[in-house]
Amino acid sequence: MQYSHTAVMSEEVIHYLKPKSGGKFIDCTLGGGGHSSAILERISPTGELLSIDLDSTAITAAKEQTKKYKNKIFVQDSFKNIKKIAHVHKFNKINGILFDLGLSSGQLQDHSRGFSFLSQGNLDMRFGTSSSEGEEPILTAETILNSYSQQQLHEIFKKFGEEKLAQPISKKIIEFRKQHLISSPEELVEIITEVYKKYYKGKSKINPATKVFQALRIAVNDELESLAKALPDALNLLSKGGRIVVISYHSLEDKIVKEFFKLESRDCICDPQNPTCQCKHKKTLKIVTKKPIMATDQEVAENPRSRSAKLRVAERV
């Protein structure tokens, strides 16, 4: 299966990350290597890039894409371990760090991985099928669907998918499971479509399965927790003036980034009711983009995936 992904807002990433010859950068989400290539082009030959991805397929594709550059290290791991990875590879005091969250087109299009409701393969949905940690138990979408309680499924669909029909969908899944286990994306789509038909007479603009698939993917990959853990560690790696650039694709991720930047750009984070500051918190970031940057109309027309992208930037003070 050919892996392909068009990097989103590449020009904007470079504009805000400001990679210069000799600079030291980390790309936390290597994917097909589009952003990494653009960074390497500007920091080479003396600069260094450390890129991370959970997916070995992405790393293979990115190696090919960046083969003319020697000054790079690719690591297959989760960016939630950024502190340890940076320490091992002596990437302290870096000039910039990039997160381009979520999944790539290459992963979505590989139907054997179950990310798409058009998939015919397994209900897997893991970004990485093996990790350097090797200790965490394997969790797939199929495991969640066939072993979680109705309440747990409801919470996942509601919290990570903002799915209005989380309750009837989770109920229907439990009913289905009494007959046999859910083993394919098609079966899951059928269950969701049936529930939607009962509650919505009109045609919905998006495929009714979209939100449930998103929710399962977020749960399987522990996406929100990983991001929340990685951001403070990423901040601590930046040298003064170094920048953190994050592209997110849904409101749950964007909220984490926005709130983290807001918190770190304040000197005191005590409850406003407190008459005096107890926290002694000192601001560590300056927010560069007051509002998120969106892709241009032209980019959206050329790459519809960029439609939901929101780019936020902050600078270490």
Ligand X SMILES: C[S@@+](CC[C@H](N)C(=O)[O-])C[C@H]1O[C@@H](n2cnc3c(N)ncnc32)[C@H](O)[C@@H]1O
Window 165-204: contact mask with ligand X (x via CB under 6 A): ----------------------------------------
The window from 28-36, 42-50, 135-143, 271-279 that contacts ligand X (CB under 6 A) reads 28-36
Answer for which of 51, 104, 170, 248 binds ligand X (CB under 6 A) is: 104
Q: Does 214 bind ligand X (CB under 6 A)?
A: no
Strand, coil or helix: 79: helix
Minimum CB distance to ligand X smaller for 53 or for 264: 53
Q: Does 217 bind ligand X (CB under 6 A)?
A: no
Minimum CB distance to ligand X smaller for 172 or for 305: 305
Smallest distance, ligand X to C-beta of residue 227, A:
8
Report d(CA 258, CA 135) in Å as an integer.
Answer: 32
Smallest distance, ligand X to C-beta of residue 265, A:
24
- Number of residues counted as binding ligand X (CB under 6 A): 23
Q: Does 5 bind ligand X (CB under 6 A)?
A: yes
Report d(CA 26, CA 8) in Å as an integer.
Answer: 17
Q: Report long-range pairs for 254-257 (Cβ below 8 Å, ≥24 apart).
A: 254/292, 254/310, 254/312, 256/224, 256/227, 256/228, 256/231, 257/227, 257/231, 257/312
| Tokens matching residue 113 | 């991985």
Strand, coil or helix: 143: helix
CB 289 within 8 A of CB 16: yes
Q: Does 44 bind ligand X (CB under 6 A)?
A: no
Report d(CA 37, CA 31) in Å as an integer.
Answer: 11
Smallest distance, ligand X to C-beta of residue 129, A:
11
- Residues whose CB falls within 8 Å of the CB of residue 86, separated by 6 or more in sequence, listed in order: 26, 50, 92, 94, 237
Residues in 122-151 at the binding interface with ligand X, rule: CB under 6 A: 127
Residue type, 307: R
Q: Does 7 bind ligand X (CB under 6 A)?
A: yes
Residues that bind ligand X (CB under 6 A): 5, 7, 29, 31-35, 52-55, 58, 78-80, 100, 102-104, 127, 221, 226
